[in-house]
Amino acid sequence: MLLRVCGKTSSAPLLAFSLLAASLLSTSLLPVLLTALPASAGTGMTTVDATAATVPSLAVSLTAITPTVAVPKAPITISGSARNTGLVAITSPVARAFLGQSSLTSRQAVSDWAGKTGERPMAEVARAALGKTLAPGAVTTFVLTVPAAAISHRDSFGVLPLRIEVVGSTVDGQRKVAQVPTFLPTLSAIKAYEPISVAWLVPLTLDPDPALHGMDSPARNTAWARAIGPGSRLEDLVTATEDANVTWAIDPAILGPRQPSPAVVSRAGPTPAPGNPKLLTPGAGTTADPVTAATTALTARLKASASRHILWSLPYADPDLSAILPIAPGDPVMAALTSHPSTLDTAVGPARTDIAWPVDTELTPRSEARLRRAFTARGLAAVVTPASALPGQNGSSGASRRSRTGLPLLAYDETLSRTVGQTSSRTTGALTIQRFLADSMALLGERPGTRNRSVLIAEPRTFAADPAVLRSLFAAVAKAPWLTPTTTDQLLTASRKAPREAPGAAGSTLTTAPTVSASDSAQSAPASSPLTRESLGAMPRTLANITGVGSTLLDGVPFISRWTDAQTQLLSSRWRGHPDGIAAIDDATKAAVRTITRSVRVAPSSVNFFADRGVVQVTVVNDLAVPIHNVRLTLNPAQPRLRIEEQPGPLKIGAKSRTNVKVPVTSIAAGLVRIEADLTTPNGTTLGENASVAVRVQPPSSWIYWGLGALAGLVLVLGTYRSLRRGSTRGSRPDAQELPLNDRVLND
């Protein structure tokens, strides 16, 4: 149809109308086409887009893949479940399995498929109907059997992409799809590879809970039960690994805070009142830590399993070496931690103390030198480091490396370690196991003919594992013929013989680690350290205050040991990502110290002093419910009108009482003198608030002495005169006669 405008034919409106009609037609037919395409897949080959998002109204999860590795003539059984998470019923649900026919040839390809970012030609190899209807909120299980003939074994080994899908429809015809990508490692009858040795390193450390530290209280007892008791992350981790060939890197702090020396305890008297860090109860004697029962049970369990493990002892409290050493080289607190003898030898079993495991660090000659200085007392045998932190690669030693300066290194594989870290979820346990096997087989494929290759799996300090999942992973790895067990000691022996690293770019390592998504990288990378130069610089003063106020308590041993230990815990690696924990411990420590310093004080007073020499009385008050001693009182006159002849000695004051201190003074001149009264501990820590004693000085002048002397002489003269006068009035008169008694009385 043509439109004639002003006598001319115009084709532009016709073209616009045609494009609009085509657009509307394609929009209406596109959903029909998209719905029809998957339905016609059948059992033949098809291209499946693994990036399709899972529809929220339907979810699928895997329970197990048995066996985990496909071998010739053996079918594969896949079990799982589907859940209707929507509000309407799903009709005719079907579970299907799709298997790729070509292997994933690199670790990057494995990572891409796991992240649903890859496209692969796949064939449907199994199907199972899940009933007529799946009601809202209902869960149904399924079992898919992949026939042996559907699995390709043309390569000696390979990783086939596997995809499990559940599809169904709603009553209004909407198609619902839920899918999950996983892997099927395969082996042929011909072995054409050299296996990789695998070693495991698991840290046993405390959780970042500030309630674990400080004086006895119900909250502290609960925190320790939560950290190491039944159902705790640490208890689950011990359960999952106690029968496995893993190295335990143990922070001695999990066995409870360090106890004071026997010499100090033997002099102890009263003990802290449970539940009140501010008050102490005299006369009870030093008692055991209330958390001892929990720590004793954990110690016994570790000791019973110690013979099956290599034990490493981390420095007490697992200090954050990567953060502290660069900003506080030679820090005395850090030096005390790294040089302190480990308590594990006697409590659990022989443990190595000469291996450093910083949370994160890029190994450079400078950082190695710092670590060597920090471990001077213990000696530094090796450093655990991520493989990506190494500057270059040489040889084929894998986990056993040696730095440019000759320091033995144990380099762990971050990708495999990150996969093991996902064993905390039982619902994704089967996926985690298949991912680990697939990635390790892809690692094997990089150099299948290289002998003596090794890999180290090292978990983060926050590692939380479901015991059942982690034990299943260990069992699957034990059955994988391309992975053979080794130990960290064997890796360390090999690292001493490894060639030194050549200078090169960081990340050029022996194996090609796959790139990871930003979210995965954020989850695996350690958080930044909350420790700063300012916080480390304030710690010595805080420790001095703790020691100072504790030394004035009649039994300050518990106070000093608990709060000193709390300050030590601030240096721990566990506070990465938890700066509030450090702030909570600091606030609690300062509050405990402040409570004592404010409870011992000088009572303000006003005194009149009318003498050349004498004493001034000062009252010191103790509001604590425990006696104190070794309190120093120092008086400093603000003007030279009054001189302190001798400062008082150490004071001892009873509980909830006060004492009057007499201080010898000499007056120099008249006037009002304010004396500043300072209370301090033996190490100079200030007690109480600023207080002063007002003394009104009025020393006597010389004329007072002359006047008093004259007055005394006058009194003497008058007394003598009176005595003489009385003697001359009666007995000396000659005409005096004896009078009758009555007359004498009357005359008198």
Inside any domain, residue 60: yes
Inside any domain, residue 734: no
Is there a single domain that holds both residue 29 and residue 50? Answer: no
Please classify residue 409 by burial: count the beta carbons closer than 10 Å to its beta carbon, then call 0-12 exposed, 13-18 middle and 19+ buried: buried
pLDDT of the residue at 280? 34
Is there a single domain that holds both residue 33 and residue 46? Answer: no
Q: Which residue has the tokens 């395409």?
A: 37
Q: How many helices (H) and strands (E) does the chain have?
A: 20, 31
pLDDT of the residue at 631? 95
Is there a single domain that holds both residue 626 and residue 503? Answer: no
Residue that finishes a domain, picked among 448, 477, 512? 512
Inside any domain, residue 303: yes
Distance of alpha carbon 455 from alpha carbon 446, whole angstroms: 13
Inside any domain, residue 732: no
Inside any domain, residue 528: no
Is the pTM for the entire model greater than 0.85? no
Q: Give the number of domains in the chain.
A: 5
CATH number at residue 623: 2.60.40.10
Is there a single domain that holds both residue 246 and residue 380? Answer: yes
**Residue 741 falls in which region: left (phi positive, over 0), alpha (psi -120 to 50) or beta:** alpha
Residue that finishes a domain, picked among 449, 483, 512? 512
What residues contact 258, with CB distance under 8 A and at least 6 apart?
252, 316, 343, 561, 565
Distance of alpha carbon 221 from alpha carbon 228, whole angstroms: 11
Tens-digit pLDDT profile for residues 317-344:
999 998 888 887 777 777 777 777 888 9
Is there a single domain that holds both residue 222 and residue 330? Answer: yes
Is there a single domain that holds both residue 51 and residue 108? Answer: yes
Residue that finishes a domain, picked among 512, 541, 572? 512
CATH number at residue 425: 3.20.110.10
User: DSSP string of 322-371?
Assistant: HHHHHHSTT-HHHHHHHHSPPSHHHHT---B--EE--SS----HHHHHHH
Consecutive 10-residue averages of pLDDT for the chain (748 residues) = 36 39 39 34 37 61 96 97 93 95 93 83 94 94 96 94 94 88 95 96 97 93 95 96 97 87 38 35 52 92 96 95 83 76 91 93 84 89 91 64 93 96 93 98 93 95 96 97 97 93 53 54 70 90 94 92 94 95 95 94 88 90 94 92 92 94 91 92 90 84 59 77 66 50 45
Inside any domain, residue 631: yes
Tens-digit pLDDT profile for residues 484-526:
999 999 999 999 999 988 765 444 444 456 665 544 544 456 7
Inside any domain, residue 118: yes
Is there a single domain that holds both residue 53 and residue 17? Answer: no
Is there a single domain that holds both residue 324 and residue 224? Answer: yes
Is there a single domain that holds both residue 408 and residue 505? Answer: yes
Residue 552 structural domain: 533-596
Is there a single domain that holds both residue 293 and residue 388? Answer: yes
Inside any domain, residue 710: no
CA proximity to 147, closest of 189, 113, 184 = 184
Is there a single domain that holds both residue 564 and residue 613? Answer: no
Is there a single domain that holds both residue 358 and residue 501? Answer: yes
